[in-house]
Structure formats: C-alpha cells, structure tokens
Chains A and B, each alone.
Chain A
C-alpha cells in the first residue's frame, strides 16, 4: 500500500476543508484500503471522518427517518426503526458483505463503492484497457467477459455496474442523500445520485458528489409503504455480490396496488427505477398474473450484451418476487 499522510477530522468543516485540499475521506475504510492496494486511488493525504459522532445514528424526524452517514450496515440492518419503516433497506444492509465487513462499512461510504468489474479491479500496472482506470484506453469487458455487466445505461466506453445493495433500497424508498461542501449543505435524490456513462459520456464520473463534498446522511420518507422487500440473487447463499437484485415498496387498498416503487440493482451504474412499470402497477391486483406482464414489458427496454441476456429475465423475476413479497403475496 502506498504511503500517505493522515489526520483526524474534528468537525465537518475541517473535513470539508481537507477534501477541498484534495485529501481522501476514510470512514470504515473497507473500500478505500483495497483501492490503495490496487492503485485505484493514490491520495497523498487521507482525512479520517470516523470520529465525527454527529454523523452517526438513526432517528425519526417528523415524516422522515434520518440515518447518519457513519452508521454501519449492521447497525442499520438491526435497528428497530429501520426494520419498521424502511424494511427493504434493513434487508439490503444485512444481505451485503459479511458480519465483519458490516461492522466497519458505513452507509455513507457504501453507495460510493466502485464497480466489481474484474477488469476494473486489476492491480497496477493495468494489464488491460479500462476507461475508468486509464481514460481513453478502452473497455476490456466489452471485448472480453461481461456476463455480470450492465443491461441498462451502458456505452461502448464502459459496461460496468454499481454493486451496492443499500443504494438500491434507498433509491426505491425515494431517499435523499444529504451532502455538505464548501458552499454548504444540499440534498440529492438517491435515484439520481449515481450517473451512468450513457448520461455523462464519461465513465470516470460516477456520482453527483463533488470531490470536495461529503455525504453526511440520508433522509427517508416514512409512513406510506405498507410493505417492502429486497431480493438479492447471487451464486452463494450469503457473502456474495448480487448478480441482480430488486427493491420494492408498495401500498395496497384491499388486494389492489395503490402505489408501487421498484428499483433494480447490479444492472447499471446506478439503481435502476422502473417508472413506467410503477405507473402501470397502480390499480393492478397484487398477484403474479397481474404483475409479471407489467414487469416483463418494462424489461423489454433492456439492452443486454452478448453474454448477459439472462440478466434481463433474472432481474425481471427479482422485481416480480420483490413486489409480491412487499405486498405480502409471496
């Protein structure tokens, strides 16, 4: 691991000042340390925000649930307020990583994790092209193995996917990301926080977060979804990244869907909401016969690569399962 200089932030302001001076933030460090080992990041200075207690904790604030950025995935997953009001998020947190990693990993850093694309995760010097690591070099995944790659929002420059589980639940729950920078605080809708290469034309630009901005917490509207679920499909039963995942939140009147929100994970560089299907689901019966054709229709917009056509079917099925589980229909 390359050498760096270190300091502990004693306030948000000192952290933001350090970021503006090109320091990298560390909280849990579960991603950053591996970036340093591989050469994905090589900061001269690292500012430790882990001691900023004000960014830690979970509370109800009126019609919102507030989760501080330094709250760990295990703390969120087992918190009674989260389980009651944001069950999809609790489930997503506990299905992420391992018990050990979840004791370190924070919800602030989690959504900033980089893609698991094996070509991207190579150790320096880069043995193959990657437009995220060496801009302009090309995309080895597009020419090589890409069964885990994107089915939405990709370009020939990059076919990677965002791997976060919690981000998918946060996007489905209409969560807002609270950030602070030199100009003060602002909020960003979670479903718009990540950027696809299709939108930006630049695979190195992955989020709306500025280099001098810090995620301080999340605001999740509570009170309306009757049921929520997070379905993660993976090659092992536990401790594995998703092939695809789906988060759903529904409200029902009788057995009829009143509102539905659904987001897919590991299909694009951001949690992929299905707004067309969400609108069509209103008024539909909460059963497979009604839901499946609506989701299948939405999935016809996917653009699979030669190796990952199966992900279109799998992601659609995950969405159907998540909606049925959220609606209590199973």
Chain B
C-alpha cells in the first residue's frame, strides 16, 4: 500500500502530563515546538545541532536532544521538560534541589538540560561514582565550567534517590 506523504501532520503526544493533539509542519523540531508553540522555554537552543545538550528533554523517560527530534517522531510519546519536574506546590524535584544546594550553575543557561540529563542519568544507574557521572553527563556542556558542582549535585541526588 503506497504511503501518503503530507507537509502538515497531526500528532498526539503528552507534554508534562497534558495530552495534546496538534498539527505541525513535518520539519518542526521538538525544541522549536516546545519553545514557540507550547510556550515552554525551559529547553534552550544552544548549538541546534546536537553538540551542547542544553535542549535535553525526556522522551518516554529517556533523555534526548530536542533539536535532533522532530515532533512527528513523538507520536504517542510522553515529553517531560524542566517545567514538569517540580511538584504543583512548588516543591523542587530532588535533582533541582541538589543543583541549588551544590551551586550547580553560574549563568544557568545550560541548567534545564543539565537537570533533565541528571534525572535520566540517575534513573539509568549511571550516578554511582564521579567518573561515571562525568562520562554519562558529558552530553551537557557548561561554558561557565561549573562541572565540579554539577557532578557533586548529581552524585548527591543519586545517593538520595537510591
């Protein structure tokens, strides 16, 4: 059966717990859509080519680069951005709290991506020691170079979660 190609595509997906049904241009990246259409600006646009990690979001719990993902590839999937981490009453997610406690940022531009990457890093079981954290967090660049504090935050949050 020959496939039917379209430039506008309907996609059903869930963003931070909210079910959505949208029509997007096929070329729309998850990053651009979250920021410009949904109004969730936590995921940042750094390099827009998969090199910096500041656009990291969770897709069905797995960390991915929003700039390397099309919305049309997210049919039926659940997206979590940094806006979806804290409790409704404002209580920070344990990883957010750990970044706060350990001063895991300077300018903060990379922080949403760092935090989501850390949430996944811990869930994957890659937060047991410093060398493992540094290796598995290497996809998130921090140009202020807050790496020691970020690593400490991930290790602390990992200990708390386990």
Question: Which residues of A line the B interface, CB within 8 A?
Answer: 1-10, 14, 17-18, 23, 26, 28-30, 33-34, 36-37, 45-48, 50, 97-101, 103-104, 236-239
Contact = CB atoms under 8 A, between A and B. Distances in A.
A3 B56 contact: no
A204 B40 CA distance: 41
Interface in B100-143: 117, 120-121, 124, 126, 134-140
Contacts of A47: 3, 5
A29 B67 CA distance: 10
Contacts of A236: 138
Given A47-B3, A99-B139, A100-B63, A6 B120 contact: no
Given A7-B4, A99-B120, A100-B139, A26 B65 contact: no
A298 B82 CA distance: 52
B50 interface: yes
B6 A6 contact: yes
A29 B69 contact: yes
Contacts, number: 110
Contacts of A10: 1, 3
B63 A48 contact: no
Most chain B CB within a 10 A radius of its CB, from A18, A48, A103: A103
Q: How large is the interface on B (under 10, 10 to 19, 20 to 34, 35 or more residues)?
A: 35 or more
Of the listed residues A23, A36, A47, A99, the one surrounded by the most CB atoms of chain B closer than 10 A to its CB is: A99
Nearest to B25: A3
B65 A100 contact: yes
Contacts of B137: 99
B117 A238 contact: no
Closest 3 A/B residue pairs (Cβ): A98-B139, A6-B26, A238-B138
Contacts of B29: 1, 33
A23 to B, nearest CB: 7
A36 B72 CA distance: 16
B3 A101 contact: no
Given A7-B3, A98-B138, A48 B72 contact: yes
B137 to A, nearest CB: 8
Given A29-B70, A104-B65, A236-B138, 6 more contacts: A4-B27, A30-B50, A33-B68, A98-B140, A103-B64, A237-B135
Interface in B1-42: 1-7, 9, 25-27, 29
A100 B3 contact: no
11 contacts: A3-B27, A5-B7, A6-B5, A7-B4, A17-B3, A29-B70, A97-B139, A99-B126, A101-B139, A104-B64, A237-B135
B71 to A, nearest CB: 10
A8 B3 CA distance: 8
B139 A239 contact: yes
Contact of B7 (A4, A28, A99): A4
Nearest to B67: A33
A14 B1 CA distance: 7
A3 to B, nearest CB: 6
B73 A29 contact: yes
Contacts of A237: 134-135, 138
B68 A29 contact: yes
Contacts of A14: 1-3
Contacts of A99: 63, 117, 120-121, 124, 126, 136-139
B97 interface: no
A110 B136 CA distance: 20
A26 B73 contact: yes
Nearest to B66: A100
A6 B72 CA distance: 8
B149 interface: no
Contacts of B117: 99-100
B49 interface: yes
Contacts of A98: 50, 53, 138-140
A106 to B, nearest CB: 12
